[in-house]
Chains A and B, each alone.
Chain A
Amino acid sequence: KAGVTQTPRYLIKTRGQQVTLSCSPISGHRSVSWYQQTPGQGLQFLFEYFSETQRNKGNFPGRFSGRQFSNSRSEMNVSTLELGDSALYLCASTSGDATNEKLFFGSGTQLSVL
């Protein structure tokens, strides 16, 4: 079974630009969660999508958005990038059928905002 795939692996953007990150979950998984990881704040939950619907949302500004497609692949978008958005963005998938299942993580997208 293929694991969770995140693309691209590295990304460099400048302030004010927007960026789209992609996540393909494990086959059969319908839930995709996104996390932002920075050295100072650790892992912060962004949002979770299940069957194309946002099911849970963290405490991030509206510049951070996401969506999920019918094949469970998910994208997250960050508009009007700020220097503080530089982080490792991780997605994780589960079947979504039960609460608090084991998460399967991708390798992440390292975003640098200059």
Chain B
Amino acid sequence: SQQGEEDPQALSIQEGENATMNCSYKTSINNLQWYRQNSGRGLVHLILIRSNEREKHSGRLRVTLDTSKKSSSLLITASRAADTASYFCATDHSYIPTFGRGTSLIVHP
């Protein structure tokens, strides 16, 4: 069963726009991770945010975490065509990261 669920399922934007994806989860966590997957390939780790952190930045990525609402968001600023991929959140359910179904992001040049 999925611990984290991403929203929206699909997102289509123009290059230069910002993209925001959300993740909701059910049980308390120690940390939450975001991954990216290019079509048919393995996942690549983007960022990890711990439960005692509220916001974290990495380049054009900004992640927030609201443990009271059991939700996280991933913001990609000034998106590029190369950002086209699926994005997954992973929560630390039962020791092993548990993934949602992902948000498919398409960035049009």
Give complex CA distance A114, B2 in Å: 28
- Given A42-B2, A42-B102, verify A90-B43 contact (CB < 8 Å): yes
- Say yes or no: B42 contacts A45, CB within 8 Å: no
Kindly list chain B residues whose C-beta atoms are within 8 Å of the C-beta of A56: 94-96
| B40 touches which of A35, A42, A108 (Cβ 8 Å) | A108
> Does more than half of chain B's interface fall in helix, strand or loop, or is it mixed?
strand
- Say yes or no: A100 contacts B2, CB within 8 Å: no
Give complex CA distance A104, B42 in Å: 9
Q: Closest approach, in angstroms, between the C-beta of B14 and any C-beta of chain A?
A: 26
- Say yes or no: A100 contacts B45, CB within 8 Å: no
- Say yes or no: A43 contacts B88, CB within 8 Å: yes
- Say yes or no: B99 contacts A42, CB within 8 Å: yes
Size band of the A side of the interface? 20 to 34
Kindly list chain B residues whose C-beta atoms are within 8 Å of the C-beta of A110: 40
Give complex CA distance A100, B92 in Å: 6
Give complex CA distance A75, B48 in Å: 28
Q: Is B33 engaged at the interface, CB distance under 8 Å to the other chain? A: yes
**Chain B interfacial positions (CB closer than 8 Å to A):** 2, 30-31, 33, 35, 40-45, 48, 88, 90, 92, 94-102
Sampled A-B contacts (22; CB under 8 Å): A33-B96, A35-B99, A42-B2, A42-B88, A42-B99, A43-B88, A43-B99, A45-B98, A56-B96, A90-B42, A90-B43, A99-B30, A99-B92, A100-B30, A100-B33, A100-B92, A100-B95, A102-B33, A103-B90, A104-B45, A105-B42, A106-B42
